Structure 1
Amino acid sequence: MGSANRRRHQVALASLCLLISGAAAGLSLDRAIQLAQANDPWQQGSQLRESALAAEAISASTLPDPILSFGAANLPTDSFDIRQEGMTQTSIGFTQRLPRGDSRLLMSTQKRQLSQQQAMLRADRRAKVAVTVSQLWLEGYRAEQSMALIERTRPLFEQLLTLSRSNYGAGLARAGQQDIISAELALSRLDDRLLMLQQQRDTARDQLSEWLGTEAITAFSTDTFRDIRIRDIKDRRLTSALQAHPAIRAIEQTIAVAQSDVALRREQYKAEWAVNAKYAHRADDPLGNDRADLFSIGVSVDLPLFTAKRQDQNLSAAQARAEANRTDKALLLRKMMANLKTQFNRLQGIDERLTLYNSRLLREARKQVSVNLNAYQNDKGDFREVIQAQIDALNVDIDALNLRIDRQKTSVNIAYLLAGEHHE
């Protein structure tokens, strides 16, 4: 009995500290989302990738660097005298390669498209972070509020224990030792639930710390949830909203990149040109007569004559990748639409259950407690029925809380799926 009492006092003290800390300071859901999005290093990495791709787009649009060459030709091997032979010359040359067709423009376009995609990926990441943090926060809030409900009900069970001991000590015929054991068991079960909920709350805090950085979480503040109403969802143009979702727009950008790649592969069928020029100096002859210098200019071309094994295969691969990306978009749209319908139906079912709880179950559970307690006090009821009625009332309160949390979780999922409405 002593260890059980100490355990109850520890749980009560922990719950009291919880309530005090929650009153002093609490982490709101909006604040948690803001902190997580602000502390997300992925966002900074995405911005750096965008800058890198933008720089590569500029680089890809420029001509290749020219080639400068120096040489000496036709040196006589018997003396290596540059004046001995008229054909001996020292030269400087210049070569400029001209890439195939519009390949420079297309490569630059690809890099620019990939750079623009980063903004869409960041928007999708922010929306996903909001969902993840909201789910964790709501789990912590669920545990904390459940603990508060149990702690609020605990004095009633303690009063029932005191009542059973008084009746048993007074030798009343209706009182038995089993009543005391039933009351003690109920309190012990409450202690166990409190410890379990405390562990769940601490787990949610630990998981949130991954997203919030050094922000200390003392408690979860009581928020007024901004739930989505069913009639709002029914009136929305869901298909257009999903088409504007950042994740879908990112895939569309991937499709655009693939289409640019197809166009780039078509350019490989065109010729690649190179312009070269060379100036050659000849030394005076052995008699001191001046020799004319020489200048050469020419054009070279790379002709793709045999395309079956390389150009044709590269083009076929690029076209297949583009079609595969379109398939990915269709699959994601189908998945998101099915998920949205599922969440909508879930929201509707939760609302129906909440209506039942608010209109009947909560009131009936409290009425059952009152009726059983009055019957016991008038020697017409069983003590264990009083205990069970009180447990049922607590369970109904916690179930109602769970429904409200589940509704908010569903609303968060719907908000993510409709995130495109905020980015149109």
Structure 2
Amino acid sequence: MYANIPGRFIQPTWGSIRLSVGVLLLLSATSAWAASLSLRDAEAIALRQNPGLGALTQKIAELRHKAVAVAQLPDPHLALGAANLPLNSFSMNQQQMSMLSVGLSQTFPSFGKLGLEGQQAGIEAQAAADTLRGQSAELVLLLRRAWLQALYTEDAVATVQHQEQLEAESVQAALALYRSAQGSQVDVLRAQLARDNLANDISKLQAERASDLAQIAQILNLPEPPSIEHQWPNLPPPPTLAQA
């Protein structure tokens, strides 16, 4: 863009352009981070970014390639040689006895050996695939448990906070009755104790929710707890790493 000043145009500098681009990127990243994360997206992130599952997937691919390779015959060997070469000029046409030799050899293993080795590698690949499915399901189970606990504690905090407001009103009512000589001090103390107990319950629930969100961040390998979508999800079967 150019600034329209009478008599001349002013071209923006590279510093202002970089600053504008940086601000746009920061705003887009902030809006993306502020968006609530759904459980399905969280499961996909957990399966993709888990280093143990990634290493196991690579191992399965290697074992499957090995199962195909060991079941085939080894590569044939080609041999080249020269016999009775003359020593004065090394010319192939000087004497008729000079000649080249070409040989091709193939190794044949014992009967059934290739099939057994391929079958063994296939069994190892299948066992690794079963382990991958089990670890994926366990990871998703841990994520879902922390997710549901975070949703439950969030609802519980809202409920207890409402009860705390009601108890605060009860305290005010007990104080009014006490001041008008229509109530006792015991009633005031009892209402205050109930309000304080609810405040302690709120603090405990908030600490539990913070712990659940921290566990979610650890499973997803995030630097800080995410903002999760406040909606009780329908829980389908855990997705596999290939589906994610």
Question: Which TM-score band applies after superposition, normalised by the shorter structure?
Answer: 0.5 to 0.7
Aligned amino acid, residue 140 of structure 2: A
Aligned partner of 2:59 in structure 1 is: 49
Query: Which residue identity is paired with 2:177?
Result: N
Q: Does 1:196 align with 2:204?
A: yes
Counterpart for residue 194 of structure 2: 186
Mapped pair 1:159 → 2:169: yes
Superposition deviation, residue 148 in structure 1: 0.9
- Specify every segment of 5 or more residues in structure 2 that has no aligned partner in the other structure, as ranges: 1-33, 79-102
Matches of 1:157 and 1:34, distance apart in 2: 44
Paired residue for 1:205?
213
Aligned to 2:98: none
Query: Which residue does the alignment assign to 2:50?
Result: 40
Aligned positions of 1:62-101 closer than 5 A:
62-63=72-73, 98-101=108-111
Q: Take 2:181 and 2:217, find their aligned partners in 1: how far apart are those partners?
A: 56
> Equivalences for 1:239-278 in 2 at 5 Å?
none
8 Å contact kept, 1:144–1:220:
no
**Equivalent residues of 2:214, 2:225 under 8 A apart:** no
Question: Matched residues in 2 for 1:130 and 1:112: separation?
Answer: 27
Instruction: Name 1:107's counterpart in structure 2.
Output: 117
Match of 1:133 in 2: 143
Structure 1 residues 150 and 211, CA, compared in 2 at 3 Å: closer, same or farther?
same
Contact 1:64 1:97 in 2 (8 A): yes
> In 2 relative to 1, CA 221–149 (structure 1 residues): closer, same or farther, beyond 3 Å?
farther
Q: What SS does the aligned partner of 1:98 have?
A: coil
Give the Å deviation of 1:43: 2.9
In the alignment of these two chains, the number of paired residues is 185
C-alpha contact (below 8 Å) 1:29/1:223 kept by paired residues? no
CA distance in 1, matches of 2:209, 2:184: 38
More helix as a share of residues: 1
| More displaced 10-residue stretch of structure 1: 115-124 or 46-55 | 115-124
Deviations 1:143-183 (A, max 9, x none): 121111111222111110011111111222xx011111111
Bigger-Rg structure (1/2) = 1
Q: Distance in 2 between matches of 1:206 and 1:217?
A: 5
How big is the shift at 1:136? Answer: 1.0
Structure 2 CA distance, aligned partners of 1:219 and 1:164? 40
TM normalised by structure 2 equals 0.63
Task: Give the aligned residue type for 1:101.
Answer: F
- CA 1:221/1:67 → structure 2, altered by over 3 Å: closer, same or farther? closer
Unaligned runs of 5+ in 1: 1-23, 69-92, 228-411
Encode CA deviations 1:317-342: one digit per residue, 9 max, x unaligned. xxxxxxxxxxxxxxxxxxxxxxxxxx
Q: 1: CA distance between counterparts of 2:45 and 2:104?
A: 58
- What amino acid sits opposite 2:150 in the alignment? G
- Cα pair distance change 1:207/1:28, threshold 3 Å: same
Higher relative contact order (CA 8 A, sep 6+): 2
**Percent identity of paired positions between Structure 1 and Structure 2:** 22
